[in-house]
Amino acid sequence: MAATLAEKVWESHVVHRGEGEPDLLYIDLHLLHEVTSPQAFDGLRQAGRPARRPDLTLATEDHNVPTTPGPITDPVSRTQVETLRRNCEEFGVTLYPMGDAEQGIVHVVGPQLGLTQPGMTIVCGDSHTSTHGAFGALAFGIGTSEVEHVLATQTLPLKPFKTMAVTVEGELAPGVTAKDIVLAVIAKIGTGGGQGYVLEYRGSAIRALSMEARMTVCNMSIEAGARAGMIAPDETTFAYVQGRDHAPTGADWDAAVAAWSELRSDDDAEFDAEVVLDAAALTPFVTWGTNPGQGSPLGEAVPDPESMGDDNDKVAARRALEYMGLTAGTPLRDIHVDTVFVGSCTNGRIEDLRAAAAVIQGRQVAEGVRMLVVPGSARVRLQAESEGLHEVFTAAGAEWRLPGCSMCLGMNPDQLAPGERSASTSNRNFEGRQGKGGRTHLVSPLVAAATAVRGTLSSPSDLEPVSEGSL
């Protein structure tokens, strides 16, 4: 029977199927971090259960860690990190702690180690686990009870998802990126539009994306309410995985590629829903509100809530503009920001840093604007430094930081002050997400860098050319 990519991965992991019960699915890789795991380990301890497969489990420290040198000063954060260290020791789980060469944001670390591979099931107590779907893995966020469940059984009872094809055909204009694609998808289907679905991104514009760009797209699937996002593996995927620390080698590599090559939706497979976007029509996209679906092309103005048809949208938009301190009709390009954040599991990989550096090179961060550049992992940081990107950023007046989740969420010292406004390459513009009272505009790395230079939401095409003398 014809099947979608998601259905194929699902079917190959069913351990037990019973009438009226959810399927019991095997989990190939379980990623852990300090915030959503302590109570899960505690549960194991209370029940006297071991971790079934510590060899399929990996932990990193990311959410709470400061991105400036030195120990964690907040005692509560320190306790949480120390608890993770103790738990990993006790249950035999590999941990990459702060300062380790492999430390970083959990969703950056898995792929760069080659642990994320096509056709796998991957879970983590973090909703942005959808990132790993870029490899054709079925990857999704889980709660702490499920973390405990996976630690104890290496399985999860799951009800089947529906499938939605998100087809993006055509060629992106220069300056338009994966981030703009996914923000446009979310604005189109809404923050609840993907609920109950696994999204499969397809079409020529998706196939043309690099692996890192594909990760950006899949990362934000959860912001449309979807459980996961997936992209069928292809030569781009295989080339990215090959040679990484945990990638198969020799005859195993050939067997793996043969299996991975089957991982695509059959031509006659039926999706439960389909959305189509024209890549050529996309322009840089930014959010103006307090959920990721409240976004518009940068060339437009802050929308008028009163012109919205749906009553819930109207009320939500009114509230959002009040929180964001914005007036309907203001051109988005006129919005001043205080802070620019480049980083996170959405846009903290090397290509993101290269893109931002290329824009900022030879230019200066606008007066009164603070720019933080936070690599997604220690490896990304080292790579960037070997390319001299850190010097490009610091010469422009930006801060070059240590890896971590940083300003994506207000759990570590990198936060917005009340009323402060940011252009952020992260994934959520919720009220207070970047610090109590903070106001977030989600943007691509290119828009972030251009915004840092002009001090108002901007794309690179808004910038004056760099004069020869300043290079």
Residues of this chain, 278-297, that bind other proteins according to CB under 8 A: 291
Eight-class DSSP state of 439: E
83 makes contact with other proteins (CB under 8 A): yes
User: DSSP assignment of 19-84, as one string?
Assistant: TTS-EEEE-SEEEE-TTTSHHHHHHHHHHTPPPS-GGGEEEE--SS--SSSS---SHHHHHHHHHH
The single residue among 101, 239, 259, 466 that binds other proteins, judged by CB under 8 A, is 259
User: DSSP assignment of 144-181, as one string?
Assistant: HHHHHHHHHHSEEEEPPPEEEEEEEES-PPTT--HHHH
Please state, in angstroms and rounded to a whole number, the distance separating the CA atoms of residues 112 and 376.
11
In the complex with other proteins, the residue whose CB is nearer, 99 or 143, is 143
315 makes contact with other proteins (CB under 8 A): yes
Cβ-contact 185, 223 below 8 angstroms? no
210 makes contact with other proteins (CB under 8 A): no
141 makes contact with other proteins (CB under 8 A): yes
Token pair, residue 250, equals 């020799």
| Per-residue binder mask for other proteins (CB under 8 A), 429-448, x = binder | -xxxx--x------------
The single residue among 153, 210, 242, 383 that binds other proteins, judged by CB under 8 A, is 153
261 makes contact with other proteins (CB under 8 A): no
Beta-bridge partners for 14: 25
Phi-psi region of 393 (alpha: psi -120 to 50; beta: other; left: phi over 0): alpha
**Around Cβ 280, how many Cβ atoms within 10 Å?**
12
In the complex with other proteins, the residue whose CB is nearer, 319 or 354, is 319
| Per-residue binder mask for other proteins (CB under 8 A), 373-412, x = binder | ------------------------------------xxx-
55 makes contact with other proteins (CB under 8 A): yes
36 makes contact with other proteins (CB under 8 A): yes
| Per-residue binder mask for other proteins (CB under 8 A), 330-369, x = binder | ----------------------------------------
In the complex with other proteins, the residue whose CB is nearer, 13 or 454, is 13
451 makes contact with other proteins (CB under 8 A): no
CA distances from 338 to 321, 324, 418, 440 (A): 18, 13, 12, 10
Smallest distance, Å, CB 279 to other proteins?
A: 27
Smallest distance, Å, CB 137 to other proteins?
A: 11
- The residue range among 56-64, 171-179, 369-377, 458-466 that interacts with other proteins, by the rule CB under 8 A, is 56-64
418 makes contact with other proteins (CB under 8 A): no
Smallest distance, Å, CB 334 to other proteins?
A: 26
**Around Cβ 20, how many Cβ atoms within 10 Å?**
4
| Per-residue binder mask for other proteins (CB under 8 A), 155-174, x = binder | x-x-x---------------
Smallest distance, Å, CB 443 to other proteins?
A: 19
Burial of 71 (0-12, 13-18, 19+ CB in 10 A): exposed
The single residue among 152, 301, 308, 358 that binds other proteins, judged by CB under 8 A, is 152
Helix segments in 298-443, DSSP class H: 311-324, 344-347, 350-360, 378-386, 389-396
For residues 293-327, one letter each, b for 16 or more C-beta atoms within 10 angstroms of the residue's C-beta and e for the rest, the string is: bbbbbbeebbbebeeeeeeeeeebbeebbebbebe
Q: How many residues bind other proteins (CB under 8 A)?
A: 82
Beta-bridge partners for 96: 60
127 makes contact with other proteins (CB under 8 A): yes
21 makes contact with other proteins (CB under 8 A): yes
**Around Cβ 386, how many Cβ atoms within 10 Å?**
9
101 makes contact with other proteins (CB under 8 A): no
Smallest distance, Å, CB 454 to other proteins?
A: 29
Nearest one of 92, 240, 276 to 167, comparing CA atoms: 276
Smallest distance, Å, CB 324 to other proteins?
A: 15
Smallest distance, Å, CB 447 to other proteins?
A: 22
- The residue range among 54-62, 351-359, 389-397, 461-469 that interacts with other proteins, by the rule CB under 8 A, is 54-62
Hey, which residues between 107 and 126 contact other proteins (CB under 8 A)?
114-115, 117, 120, 125-126
Please state, in angstroms and rounded to a whole number, the distance separating the CA atoms of residues 120 and 114.
12
Name the packing angle between helices 350-360 and 211-219 (round to 10°). 100
Hey, which residues between 217 and 246 contact other proteins (CB under 8 A)?
222-223, 225, 227, 246
134 makes contact with other proteins (CB under 8 A): no
312 makes contact with other proteins (CB under 8 A): yes
